[in-house]
Amino acid sequence: MTIDLNNLKAGGFIKERGKDLFTVRLRVPGGRMAIPRLKKIAEVAEKYGGEFVHLSVRQSIELININFKHFAAVVEELGEASQKVASCGARVRVPVACGGCEYNPNGLVDTQKSALEVDQKLFGAPTGHHKFKVAFAGCPFDCPKSATNDVGFQGAVVPKLDPAACIRCGLCAKNCTPGAIIMGEGSKPLLDPHPCIWCGDCVKVCPTGAWEAKRTGYNVRIGGKWGRNPTVGTLFATLLPQEDVVEFITRVLAWYKDKAEGLGRIRLGDIIIKEGPQPLLEYLREKFPASVVAETIPPQIIDNQIGARR
Amino acid sequence: MTTIDLRGVCCPINFVKAKLALEELTTGDVVEILLDDGEPVKNVPRSLKGEGHKLLGLKETAEGHYLLTVEKGEE
């Protein structure tokens, strides 16, 4: 029997405990699953897999108990509904995203569009070192936990008030969870920019559109990871335009590939801790001067783990 | 003016009750909706705006509840 090993190149076929059995991780960028694809997956899982599928933490559907003899058939039949297999190993993984802004009332940015774009252009690219994860959150509530990724994007708006359109109802101040807006003299809203988290709640609740988005984009945190030694990524850019996302990640990847050379299996965050955040900050600033922040701190170690860090 | 009392009603039941009460009215009618502080006063106005109703004002009552004035929007 011949097995087409090309299917295994990008990963996504993960050895299970049982003899001959593999988990097949499916590519579901941003967790959005068209119903016809879902039906096809159910059909294939029933035909070749075990009694259930597993929903991974990163929004994939994983087919369980697939015999390696059936790889080609599984890939081909999933392909009938344009369903592809995901990756594993030292590659750019399938991006995670929240529901975005089309139906979700909190979403400020089209995270689904970003996740699809990154998936199309960067999925499976070998990093040469370790895995590389990207996530998109549509607002600062950040359900996808963007800062736990190698590069995490968080949608944000900077609000601006048109005083002429304001009816002085006070809904913005009442809705402002961080307390950045207070009602001043003559019931005029006053914004203190310091506590403002750019969530856009004022824009969303404003009855007349007096609060509007002055700037919209992604706040970008870099160097996060979870696992054995978790680190939280730190702020490298603010209000990055949505159209710059792929180029931004590409530049981070280029820096990572270069700096991690010869260091073996090492994540981006650990390289930043080793080099300090300044070199990456400067490298990114050359291309994205309007978005990259003046200074930042290294990825933050969660230092209460079992086993001392070396 | 009609007052819809939604004190003690949690999200999203308060919004659905407000929505059903507004359905009984005619476009342009103005009502007051009495809401609890916290999540209700944050969520209900936004959701009503999303449904196409016009928010006219918000007042805190002496007891610490909120009185939202709403004009019924187009059907």
**A263-299 pLDDT per residue, tens:** 999 999 999 999 999 999 999 999 999 999 999 999 9
Would you say A203 and A211 are in contact if contact means Cβ atoms under 8 Å apart?
yes
Nearest CA in chain A to B40: A175
Q: B66: helix, coil or strand?
A: strand
Q: How far is Cα A247 from Cα A287, in angstroms, rounded to an integer? A: 9
Please say if the pLDDT value at position A173 is more than 90: yes
Q: Say which of A167, A177, A207 has its CB closest to residue B49.
A: A207
Helix count (H) and strand count (E) of chain B? Answer: 2, 4
Please say if the pLDDT value at position A304 is more than 90: no
Per the structure, how many domains does chain B have?
Answer: 1
**A229-262 pLDDT per residue, tens:** 899 999 999 999 999 999 999 999 999 999 999 9
Chain A interface test: which of B32, B55, B72 (most A C-beta within 10 Å): B55
**A36-64 pLDDT per residue, tens:** 999 999 999 999 999 999 999 999 999 99
**A59-106 pLDDT per residue, tens:** 999 999 999 999 999 999 999 999 999 987 889 999 999 999 999 989
In order of their start, the domains of chain A are 5-79 (3.30.70.3340), 96-156+216-301 (3.30.413.10), 162-212 (3.30.70.20)
Of A273, A125, A290, nearest to A220 by C-alpha is: A290
What are the chain B neighbours of A105 within 8 Å (beta carbons)?
46-47, 50
**How high is the pLDDT of residue A3?**
62
**A106-157 pLDDT per residue, tens:** 999 999 999 999 999 999 888 988 999 999 999 999 999 999 999 999 999 9
DSSP assignment string, A127-193: -SSS-B-EEEESSTT-TT-GGGSSEEEEEEEEEEE-GGG-----HHHHH-TT--EEE-GGG-EEE-T
Of A132, A61, A141, nearest to A101 by C-alpha is: A141
CA distance A260 to chain B (A): 47
**A13-37 pLDDT per residue, tens:** 999 998 999 999 999 999 999 999 9
Question: What's the domain range around B19?
Answer: 2-71
Dihedral, CA atoms, A244, A129, A90, A8, nearest 10 degrees? Answer: 120
Please say if the pLDDT value at position A310 is more than 80: no
- Per-residue pLDDT band for A10 (boundaries 50, 70, 90) equals low
Question: The domain that contains B20 carries what CATH number?
Answer: 3.30.110.40
Query: So what's the ipTM on this one?
Result: 0.86
